[in-house]
A and B are shown apart, each in its own frame.
Chain A
C-alpha cells in the first residue's frame, strides 16, 4: 500500500497588525519577547542555530520543539525547522509593510511521517500528544 499519510501539507495564518515590521521583528527574534507570546526558548537570529521551544503544561509533562534557524532576513523573513509530536515541518514568518502597519503571515509546511508510528510511539510521545490535546481542549471551551 502506498503511504498517503506522509503527504506534504501547509498551514497559512495571516493577520494585519497595526505595528511596524521592525517592532514585530523584535517580538519574533528576542528570546524574552518570544517567550511571552510563543514559548520559552534559546533562539538566536543566526542561520544554522539550533534551539528548542519548551513548555510544561503540567509538572510531569514537558513539551519540546526541536528547531534550526534556516533563514533570517531582518524585518522581512524568518524561517526555522519545527519538529514535535512526530511532525517535521518548516515555519516561515513573512513581514510586509502596509500603510497602517504590517501584514504578518506564518506558513507551516510539513508532514507527519506515519500516523501509526507517531501514535504507537514511546510513552513520551503519548504524554506529549495528550498535553497537546489538553491545550486544544482549553482553547475550544
Chain B
C-alpha cells in the first residue's frame, strides 16, 4: 500500500473541524455521516466534504450499508507520523534555539 506523504497528512489534519471528525472516529469507531453531523457543529454537506478530504488522504474509509454510509478511521495511514525520529529532531532543534536565547539573557 502506498502511504500518503507526511505533508498531506499534516495539511489534512490541520483543519480543526476535520481533525475533530477524525479523532471521534478513532475514539468511538464507525459512524454514519448523520451521527457525525449531529455533534460536529457544522452542516451535513460540510461534514461530507471534510470526510471526502479525509478519505482522499487515506485517513478514513467508507462502507455503504443500506441507505447509510459508515465511516471509519484508518490508523495505518498515520504510519508516516509514527517516525518519531524526525519529530524529535525538530523538537530538539527548536528547544536548542530557545536554549541559546536563554543563554544570551543569562549574560545580562
Residues of A near any B CB (own CB < 8 A): 5, 9-11, 13, 15, 17, 19, 23-24, 26-27, 33, 36-38, 85, 87, 104, 106, 108, 112, 115-116, 118-120, 123, 126, 130, 132-133, 136-137, 139-140
Contacts and interface: CB of A to CB of B under 8 A. Distances in A.
B2 interface: no
B84 A104 contact: no
B1 interface: no
Contacts of A85: 84
Contacts of A108: 88, 92
Q: Is the interface of A mostly helix, strand, loop or mixed?
A: helix
B102 A36 contact: yes
Interface in B26-73: 26-27
Contacts of B100: 15, 17
Given A36-B98, A118-B82, A17 B103 contact: yes
Contacts of B90: 136, 139
B102 A33 contact: yes
B23 to A, nearest CB: 6
A85 B81 CA distance: 12
A125 to B, nearest CB: 10
B96 A116 contact: no
Contact of A11 (B19, B23, B75, B85): B85
A87 B102 CA distance: 28
A53 to B, nearest CB: 11
6 contacts: A11-B85, A23-B106, A112-B82, A115-B82, A120-B75, A137-B14
A19 B103 CA distance: 7
A106 B75 contact: no
A23 B94 CA distance: 19
B98 A130 contact: no
Given A15-B96, A37-B98, A119 B23 contact: no
A27 B106 CA distance: 9
Contacts of A33: 102, 106
B87 A37 contact: no
A37 B101 CA distance: 8
B10 A137 contact: yes
A27 B102 contact: yes
A19 B99 CA distance: 11
A116 B87 contact: no
